[in-house]
Chains A and B, each alone.
Chain A
Amino acid sequence: NAGVTQTPKFQVLKTGQSMTLQCAQDMNHNSMYWYRQDPGMGLRLIYYSASEGTTDKGEVPNGYNVSRLNKREFSLRLESAAPSQTSVYFCASRPNREGSAFFGQGTRLTVV
């Protein structure tokens, strides 16, 4: 079972470049999430999607856009990367209101 799969695992960008982080889950979960983790911090919610076709802002949405392409896939886009977006990014999914979240293995992004 793959669970939640994120690509890529590592990425280095130059300031101003754009990129999309991909996330896919094979557990038929309804809700999906993007978090970022900075040194000395817990994870912070960027965006989430309650179901296919819906997205909502989390705690730190500035500088990001998301797309819930279908039930399986939820992508995170950086249009113009900034050094402040250097972080580890986690995608997660949850089956329903009562369920627990399952996380992908994370993407380490460095913006130079």
Chain B
Amino acid sequence: AQTVTQSQPEMSVQEAETVTLSCTYDTSESDYYLFWYKQPPSRQMILVIRQEAYKQQNATENRFSVNFQKAAKSFSLKISDSQLGDAAMYFCAYRAYSGGGADGLTFGKGTHLIIQP
């Protein structure tokens, strides 16, 4: 079974600074997807960024970027120029690209990100 580990229960960063959230995963699959989801106090799950394992180039979405290290099974999220609205729980998630194609996501336990004004 796949597992996703987020080793930082909580992180704090000053507004406008950069922060990196860590994620490692374990899988025997060669093709898969990795995701970062944001969950603000509203409880809504919001997709931040996704990475296809077959792509060597790291995904970026505006101030959000990832460092994908396939051999090390590591998938970290970097948030640049942190803003107060970035405060939330962040979940790393994995999905295999196999089987019937309807596999669900496997989530880490989350990192609580605090933004200090």
Contacts and interface: CB of A to CB of B under 8 A. Distances in A.
For B100, B105, B106, B110, the residue with the greatest tally of chain A CB atoms inside 10 Å of its CB is B105
Contacts of B30: none
Interface in B62-117: 91, 93, 97, 100-110
A100 B47 contact: yes
- How extensive is the interface on chain A, given as a class? 20 to 34
Interface residues of B, number: 23
Nearest to A45: B104
A74 interface: no
A53 interface: no
A105 B43 contact: yes
A50 B100 contact: yes
Given A42-B4, A42-B109, A100-B50, A48 B104 contact: yes
A31 B100 CA distance: 11
Nearest to A107: B43
B104 to A, nearest CB: 4
Interface of B: 4, 33, 35, 42-45, 47, 50, 91, 93, 97, 100-110
